[in-house]
């Protein structure tokens, strides 16, 4: 394991040094710790991060997000080294959809095409026809024939929201995000009563009983755009709360409240997988160029097809 023999005062300086030394780019999702967001070269939602991973001049992509996001970066930029601070940064949606079970589900629905949410493993992507994110799913669905039979995996909440929005009847895999399932409808309504001048905004991974109270629903980048475009001064945010760091940076005069969980408190809505990445682990992975994302060539080529279809249709 390499260690740097320079006397840096702050870990951020060390990371900046390593970035230049290795011609690396740091990509971060909005759910990462504030200090990681602040040191990143690019911050975005799943779709923006995929596009950035595909088009950059770096030799090394340092992905601060969860593993499926880093895998997408590798699939779209196979000649680059892709590293992430903690290889255990998974996702409950990814875990809920294992490939052997999924193949059975596909066999039971032979005349369906497979639309998969990007929050899934490379193996599930390889079994899919088109990948979608929460920011392009409606648009991609609108481009498909209305009578097309579709399987949607793995998020049942996003799937049923999309069915409602597009009038489709997609067959849904029974997965969910443990973070977006922690919000309490009862506590949310109580908070809204106490803050009647606020607007509730939500990510479509939330269950229907939360989404029905939302005045705006969208991907992380759509939520960020909405809080700037809208005239309201106060928002109740029903998604992973680290996004509020960017909201405050973009709109310092507006107020942002974390949507409450069952105990009326909010810390339960932090993503436990995203939280595995720390500034120290980010520095270490750049020093050691590990952990690295490795995907077999065969799997990579299979998973790339539906991702490229997504990028073409978005």
Residues near ligand SF4, by CB under 6 A:
31, 66, 91-93, 119, 177-179, 205, 240, 271, 273-274
Q: Does 219 help bind ligand 13P (rule: CB under 6 A)? A: yes
Q: State the minimum distance, in angstroms, from the CB of residue 71 to ligand SF4.
A: 13
CA atoms within 13 A on the CB side of 176: 12
Interface with ligand 13P, residue 77, by CB under 6 A: no
Which residue, 92 or 128, has its beta carbon nearer to ligand SF4? 92
Written as six digits, the tokens of 155 are: 């998020």
Spatial distance between the Cα atoms of 260 and 191, rounded to a whole number of angstroms: 8
Question: 273 touches which of ligand SF4, ligand 13P, none (CB within 5 to 8 A by kind)?
Answer: ligand SF4
Go through the chain and tell me how many residues it has.
Answer: 314
Q: Which does 32 bind (CB under 5 to 8 A by kind): ligand 13P, ligand SF4, none?
A: none
Q: Is 71 in the site for ligand 13P (CB under 6 A)?
A: no
Which of 32, 121, 133, 198 binds ligand 13P (CB under 6 A)? It is 133
Using CA atoms, how far apart are residues 295 and 72, in angstroms rounded to an integer?
10
**Partner interacting with residue 219 (select from ligand 13P, ligand SF4, none; CB below 5-8 Å by kind):** ligand 13P
Distance between CA atoms of residues 140 and 132, nearest Å: 7
81/180 with CB nearer ligand 13P: 180
Residue 174 tokens, joined? 């029974």
Strand order in the sheet with 171-172: 130-132, 113-117, 150-153, 171-172
CB 178 within 8 A of CB 90: no
- Residues in touch with ligand 13P (CB under 6 A): 45-46, 119, 133-134, 177, 203, 205, 219-220
């Amino acid at each position: 394991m390499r260690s740097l023999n320079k006397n840096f005062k702050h870990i951020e300086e060390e990371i900046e040094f390593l970035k230049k030394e290795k011609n690396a780019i740091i990509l971060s999702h909005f759910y990462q710790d504030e200090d990681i967001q602040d040191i990143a070269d690019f911050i975005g939602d799943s779709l923006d991060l995929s596009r950035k991973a595909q088009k950059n001049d770096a030799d090394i992509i340092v992905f601060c997000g969860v593993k499926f996001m880093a895998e997408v970066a590798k699939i779209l930029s196979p000649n680059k080294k892709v590293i992430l601070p903690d290889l255990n940064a998974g996702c409950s949606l990814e875990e809920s959809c294992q490939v052997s079970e999924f193949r059975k589900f596909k066999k039971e629905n032979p005349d369906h095409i497979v639309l998969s949410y990007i929050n899934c493993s490379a193996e599930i992507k390889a079994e899919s026809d088109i990948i979608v994110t929460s920011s392009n799913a409606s648009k991609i669905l609108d481009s498909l024939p209305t009578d097309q039979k579709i399987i949607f995996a793995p998020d049942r909440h996003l799937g049923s929201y999309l069915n409602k929005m597009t009038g489709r009847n997609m067959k849904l895999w029974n997965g969910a995000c443990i973070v977006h399932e922690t919000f309490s409808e009862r506590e949310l309504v109580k908070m809204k009563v106490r803050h009647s001048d606020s607007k509730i905004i939500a990510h479509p991974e939330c269950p229907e009983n939360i989404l029905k109270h939302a005045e705006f629903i969208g991907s992380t980048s759509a939520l960020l755009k909405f809080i700037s475009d809208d005239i309201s001064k106060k928002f109740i945010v029903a998604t992973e709360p680290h996004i509020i760091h960017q909201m405050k940076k973009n709109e310092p005069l507006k107020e942002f409240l974390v949507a409450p969980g069952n105990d009326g408190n909010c810390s339960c809505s932090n993503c436990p997988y995203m939280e595995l990445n720390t500034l120290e682990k980010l520095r270490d992975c750049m020093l050691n160029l590990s952990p690295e994302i490795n995907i077999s060539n065969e799997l990579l080529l299979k998973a790339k097809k539906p991702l490229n279809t997504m990028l073409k249709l978005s």
